[in-house]
Amino acid sequence: MDQLFNRKYIIQGLFVLIALILLGKLFYMQVVSDKYFLSANNNALRKIYTYPARGVILDRNNKVLAQNQPTYDLLVTPNQVKPFDTLSLCRIIGIDTIEFRKKFDKAVAQSRFQESIFQKLISIETYATLQEKMFNFRGFSVRKRTIRFYPDSIAAQFLGYMREVTPTDLEKYLGYYKPGDYIGKGGIEKKYEIDLRGTKGVTHMLFNSKNVAQGSYNNGKMDSAAIAGEQLITTIDSRIQKLGEELLAHKVGSIVALEPSTGEVLAFVSSPGYDPNKLVGNNFSANYSEITANPNRPFVVRPIQGGYSPGSAFKPLDALIALSEGVVDPNTTFNCPGYYVAGNRRFKCEHVDGPIALRKGIARSCNTYFYTIFAKLMTKNGGAYAKQQSTYEDWQNKVRKFGIGDTLGIDFPGEKAYKLFRRADYDKLHRGRYWGNTTIMSVAIGQGEINTTPLQMANIMAIIANRGFYLKPHVVKVIGNGKGIDPRFKEKHYAGIDARFYEPVIDGMQDAVNQSWGTAIESRLPNIIMCGKTGTVQNSRGKNHSVFIGFAPRDNPKIAIAVIVENGGYGGAYAAPIASFMAEKYLTDSLSGRTIHGSTIQMYKDANLLPTFLSKPFRPKTKTDSLLNKTDSLKKAMPVKNKNTNNAFNKVADKPKNNAASK
């Protein structure tokens, strides 16, 4: 009997214990923990994301290049939509009922239960009208965001643009972005995406059965505020960036300007360009297609992707190596009869210079002089082919120290490295046959197997301006409130040539600009000593390309520059004057006329050198040809605007054939 009594109380105790456990669990679920509440109220509790303001992009003088303006997205959750007046909504947002059905079907296909974008980038005016009637449109909501605005409509390729994320972007950034979000594509917007984008905010909003917001859940304890993106101060000077784009209007080409002492990029011009505001808003797709269809390829970022043989602009570098190797000194003199003979080949020079040494050889761009010093370089260890090939390998390694043959590592996406042949490349090209200096003589004057970008050309000038070193080019000065740039952009990189060898080369570059018989006389600046070198690049599909590299002033240089004008003729025709206008604007914040031939800046701005495409566009493959007759290049290249324009440019075009200014 006692045993039955004990069992009774044991069973009762178990029931009491189980009841207490269930009550405790229910208390935890309803009072202590939010987990089950949130699950049960999934349709009433939504995460509302707040998009941060994207970081503003400024030039080096704090002038705004890219800022934000408000816009709104209309969102839809299909399973929450109840019958309503669709025509009313269509009228507000500016679509028809057919378009409405397409958008709604797309949202359903994506998910009936998740929010997706129904209409992007609604204006403030449309939003104001929509907000008044939002209660009629159950299942729809509005989310605020910002889009880019470019006040001066400049530097499109430099800045880049924003575009909707792709599946690849969603995977790459580990869930930060959602379908319909925007991300930087190209340029600064892409390279510094993480700094510029900021951090999204989130509000856990409660909605009642009528889809009316009831306020933030749990007094906002689970919410987080949006954090604006970091401001970027770039190295670009918008004054000369804008000027460069005006000078290259109606032309294909590039301008890169650097500050030699820091490696900061002052101008980054790629032409043809486009208005960056065209790639903002609901007309993005149509405008993107229009820009893509341009046969001159505006989306090619020519400062870092355009491949050009440097031509005669390579000669100062060649002279530096020859001096450092001791095969010549500044007074070593060779005879120029108007040609150079290498084996059974005869290479033409543009003029007969007679006895000529280094300084005048650079200023007059004498091919014979540079063929000769290259031959001496290649045979200094012996004339046998094996010796020459070994010497060439050593020579091209010295050229590489000037930043040719590989990327420079700029903080900008898409930089290309163009080819500089090694010994193994020539071995492969000639398939085991002997080769030596007479086989590769074109390299002496910057043609043949040398290709560079405009950035690399400008960097060579920075090295010469600094008398032997460079800092890696970069486009951002400051991130946020004083966050510095990557330390690698403050390291000096030496070209391996002693500083004493630079002065005689710079003497020749000074004469090229400032002597009446120099090849770049039209780029002479009042009260500023500019040093430079012209070049001409042969274009097998059209007129020659005009090239100029230089720096100013000679002492304590502030700007190094490279200019490429496709179809511009010889180097002194377009590239040299354009470079001088850029340098003058940067150094003095003013512009003067060019008195030598009476040309004006407006004449260069107005000149149209765009190629005419008869069929599909070509992708130019260029090589230099400093042996061509260039005396009539400018006459052919420059369109006649009026009587004065014609006369001014004829003065250049009608120079005698043996005048070095035609080089």
**Per mean pLDDT, which range of 108-112, 165-169, 517-521 is the poorest?**
108-112
Give me the amino acid identity at 94.
G
Q: How many CA atoms lie within 13 A of 61 on its CB side?
A: 8
What's the pLDDT at 70? Answer: 87
Q: For residue range 150-195, what is the model confidence (pLDDT) as tens digits?
A: 999 999 999 999 999 999 998 888 878 888 889 999 999 999 999 9
Unique residue bearing structure tokens 């189980």 = 18
Distance in angstroms (rounded) separating the CA atoms of residues 93 and 82: 19
Give the span between the Cα atoms of 347 and 630, in whole angstroms: 16
In angstroms, what CA-CA distances link 105 with 57, 90, 111, 310, 317? 39, 15, 10, 56, 64
pLDDT tier for residue 355 given thresholds of 50, 70 and 90: very high
Between 620 and 402, residue with greater pLDDT: 402
**β-sheet bridge partners, residue 164:** 182
pLDDT per residue as tens digits for the range 470-490: 999 999 999 998 787 889 999
- pLDDT, residue 635, reads 38
Average pLDDT over residues 399-412: 96
Q: Distance (Å, rounded) from C-alpha 64 to C-alpha 483? A: 19
For residue 234, give Cα distances in angstroms to 20, 58, 485, 585: 67, 6, 11, 19
Q: How confident is the model at residue 84 (pLDDT cuts 50, 70, 90)?
A: confident
> What mean pLDDT is predicted for residues 358-365?
94
Contact 311, 333 (CB under 8 A): no
- Confidence band (pLDDT; 50, 70, 90) for 231? very high
Q: What is the pLDDT of residues 331-343, one digit of tens each?
A: 999 999 988 988 7
Task: Look at residue 656 and tell me whether its pLDDT is greater than 50.
Answer: no
Give the span between the Cα atoms of 611 and 621, in whole angstroms: 14
pLDDT above 50: residue 625? no
Please provide the average confidence, as pLDDT, over all residues in the chain: 85
Rounded to whole angstroms, the Cα distance separating 533 from 430 reads: 32
Task: Return the pLDDT at 645.
Answer: 37
**539: exposed, middle or buried (C-beta count within 10 Å: 0-12, 13-18, 19+)?**
buried
Q: Quick one: tokens of 593?
A: 């006329």
Confidence of residue 110 (pLDDT cuts 50, 70, 90): confident
* pLDDT, mean of residues 122-132: 86
Q: DSSP for 155-196, please give it.
A: -HHHH-EEEEPPHHHHHHTTTSS-TT-EEEESHHHHHTHHHH
- Average pLDDT for 558-587: 94
Crossing angle between the packed helical segments 385-400 and 367-379, to the nearest 10 degrees: 110
The dihedrals phi and psi of 73, each to the nearest 5 degrees, come to -115, 135
Longest distance between any two alpha carbons in the chain, whole Å: 137
Its pTM stands at 0.82
Q: What is the DSSP letter of 82?
A: -
- The C-alpha atoms of residue 155 and residue 250 are separated, in whole angstroms, by 16
Calculate mean pLDDT across residues 580-595. Answer: 90
Question: Which residues in 250-338 belong to E strands, given as ranges?
Answer: 253-259, 264-271, 334-336
CATH number for the region 238-276+307-662 comes to 3.40.710.10
**CB under 8 Å to 246, separation ≥6 — which residues?**
605
| Distance set, CA 136 to CA 85, 105, 132, 266, 388 (Å) | 8, 20, 9, 54, 85
CA distances from 452 to 419, 513, 531, 558 (A): 8, 23, 20, 23
Average the pLDDT over 537-563 and give the result: 91
Share of the chain above pLDDT 90, in %: 54
Highest mean pLDDT: which range of 38-42, 105-109, 472-476: 472-476
> Is 168 buried (19+), middle (13-18) or exposed (0-12) by CB count in 10 A?
exposed
Q: Please, which residues bridge with residue 493 across strands?
A: 470
- Asked whether the CA dihedral 278, 283, 289, 294 is positive or negative, the reply is negative
Backbone angles phi, psi at 540, to 5 degrees: -65, -10
Q: What are phi and psi of 40, to 5 degrees?
A: -70, -25
The stretch 384-405 carries a mean pLDDT of 94
Q: What's the residue count for the chain? A: 663
Beta strands in 484-527 (DSSP E): 492-494
The stretch 315-333 carries a mean pLDDT of 96
Q: CA–CA distance from 266 to each of 149, 189, 408, 468, 610 (Å)? A: 22, 18, 16, 21, 26
Output b/e per residue, 397-413; b: 16+ Cβ within 10 A.
ebbebbbbbeebebbbb
Among 16-20, 162-166, 198-202, the minimum mean pLDDT is found in 16-20
Quote the pLDDT of residue 213: 67
Give the pair of three-digit tokens for residue 200. 């999204």
426 vs 441: CA distance, rounded Å: 13
Q: How confident is the model at residue 595 (pLDDT cuts 50, 70, 90)?
A: low
Are residues 395 and 378 in contact, defined by beta-carbon separation less than 8 angstroms?
yes
Summarised one tens digit per residue, pLDDT across range 417-448 is 988 999 999 999 998 788 888 889 999 999 88
DSSP letter, residue 617: P
CATH of domain 48-234: 3.90.1310.10
What is d(CA 73, CA 292) in angstroms, rounded to the nearest whole number? Answer: 27
Q: pLDDT at position 523, please?
A: 87
